Chains A and B, each alone.
Chain A
């Protein structure tokens, strides 16, 4: 996407250069209609032309233990036994959540390596990435992954190349059940709320929309049957940019910079006020000059 769409740029003083307005987009994931077919995983690999990752047989329906540098879309699988002894297969599409307030971007020290577009998509620019991994410390969802071969970090782009030209993301295109939808966030939230009402009527009283306010809401909105227990799906209950990261990039930086400047200034003031020590070696003063014995 173009410079005119940039709303936020990592390690750069605001304002970002973008001037365009755009509706904030979102991807809706309805975990209750996911059948675990992994068409989205394949579509993601195919569209982004990512080299295959070797799968791991862990005795579950999950392709890999976690997201990987070449694998940005993972259907996480959990077996859940409810109070009545009923068994539920929980499928949740794990990927970058495209936070409105992205911890990755806040933590990033490389100018322009992480950007946020006017439509809300958070994108990594690997050519500017220095591979420090600070985004992995800033992300509350454990999303960015480090490729040791390239020394850079990768994640879902929300198909920013497709959505920029009006296409839906590859995973949405491939989903056979309509469990994935893409569009303006405002209208998708209505769809999600209606779906939750339906689930409540069907006996899932705890059903909820997962759009965590701690990170300003996310560009990936998830409908959960057990909305009171997002941990069941591997989602944090109340994700926020970690406090340590907020302190580090906020008060600590300003206190630290002020202290460094104060130190330099203090030395200058001291030098002007007191100057060099009067007692010095014969290399600096003619011999025989009156001096203090110690």
Chain B
């Protein structure tokens, strides 16, 4: 491996970082207002955010924004998120990754299999949240004869939200606490060459090969 290990390379383009930031803001708003309606113990969140009525008005609109942004990410990242044979090897070593025995973890492309899993879960859950959310939003337009749709909507919305919360906890925990440099990558966009080698060796090599090292 040649090159200066401290040299910084671009991991996320400006547009990717911008969309990620707005998605995060929309998600956190949806999460907080949603939790307020989910359990009375957290209703105070809705009051702090302008009241239950306002939260009810804005939550669905924030949901629409969120889904559009997730759609953008899907289009932008779907190639990088495809499962490769290397991912299967990575998955078998998941235990080592989780216990920080990274020397025993096979190399990854731009995203590792865990990140790809999170991506797929969020995209699928967003579709479920959108469809069920529309049912909650326009419940008065769901005819009484089709009331099973109302029942399905409350259950699907809550379950899909719970699934995303699980993914979200893991995602934020990994990015903020476990992987140093992860936060800077998604906010400022750059990582060190060493970071790229350590966490996404195959991606790093492909960048070098295509001489696409967008250094600063």
Contacts and interface: CB of A to CB of B under 8 A. Distances in A.
Given A278-B100, A284-B180, A294-B107, A130 B52 contact: yes
Q: Interface on chain B toward A: helix, strand, loop, or mixed SS? A: helix
A280 B40 contact: no
Given A12-B40, A133-B136, A287-B6, A279 B198 contact: yes
Interface in B147-163: 147, 150-155, 158-159, 162
Contacts of A280: 179-181, 195, 198
Contacts of B154: 134, 137, 244-245, 248
Q: Which of A128, A130, A131, A248 is most buried by chain B, counting CB atoms within 10 A of its CB?
A: A130
Interface string A256-280: 1101100110010011001111111
Contact of B102 (A142, A278, A281, A284): A278
A111 B169 contact: no
Contact of A276 (B39, B43, B180, B191): B180
Contact of B159 (A146, A252, A270): A252
Interface string A128-160: 111111101100001001101001000000000
Nearest to A243: B151
Contact of B43 (A109, A263, A277, A278): A109
Interface residues of A, number: 53
Given A281-B181, A287-B5, A132 B40 contact: no
Contacts of B158: 248, 252, 256
B78 interface: no
Q: Which of B53, B144, B155, B191 is most buried by chain A, counting CB atoms within 10 A of its CB?
A: B53
A263 B197 contact: no
Interface size of B as a range: 35 or more
B166 interface: yes
A267 B6 contact: no
B196 to A, nearest CB: 8
B199 interface: yes
Interface in A90-129: 109-111, 128-129
B136 A132 contact: yes
B43 A11 contact: yes
A110 B39 CA distance: 10
Contacts of B165: 260, 263
Q: Which of B36, B107, B144, B154 is most buried by chain A, counting CB atoms within 10 A of its CB?
A: B154
B6 A282 contact: yes
B166 A263 contact: yes
Nearest to B42: A257
B53 A130 contact: yes
B139 A133 contact: yes
B23 interface: no
Contacts of A142: 144, 147
B82 interface: no
Given A263-B169, A282-B5, A145 B194 contact: no
A58 B6 CA distance: 79
Contact of A277 (B6, B100, B147): B100
Given A133-B140, A259-B166, A294 B53 contact: no
A59 interface: no
A267 B170 contact: yes
Nearest to B204: A294
B103 interface: yes
A164 interface: no
A151 B28 CA distance: 25
Contacts of A287: 5-6
Contacts of B5: 282, 287
Nearest to B143: A142
A294 B98 CA distance: 15
A15 interface: no
A148 B170 CA distance: 39
21 contacts: A13-B40, A110-B43, A111-B40, A130-B52, A133-B139, A136-B140, A137-B153, A137-B154, A151-B56, A242-B147, A248-B155, A248-B158, A256-B158, A259-B166, A276-B180, A277-B180, A280-B179, A280-B181, A281-B192, A291-B198, A294-B102
Interface of B: 1, 5-6, 36-40, 43, 46, 52-53, 55-57, 98-100, 102-103, 105, 107, 136, 139-140, 144, 147, 150-155, 158-159, 162, 165-166, 169-170, 173, 177-181, 184, 191-192, 194-195, 197-199, 201
Interface of A: 11-13, 109-111, 128-134, 136-137, 142, 145-146, 148, 151, 242-245, 247-248, 252-253, 256-257, 259-260, 263-264, 267, 270-271, 274-284, 287, 291-294
Q: Which 3 A-B pairs have the closest CB atoms?
A: A244-B151, A281-B195, A133-B139
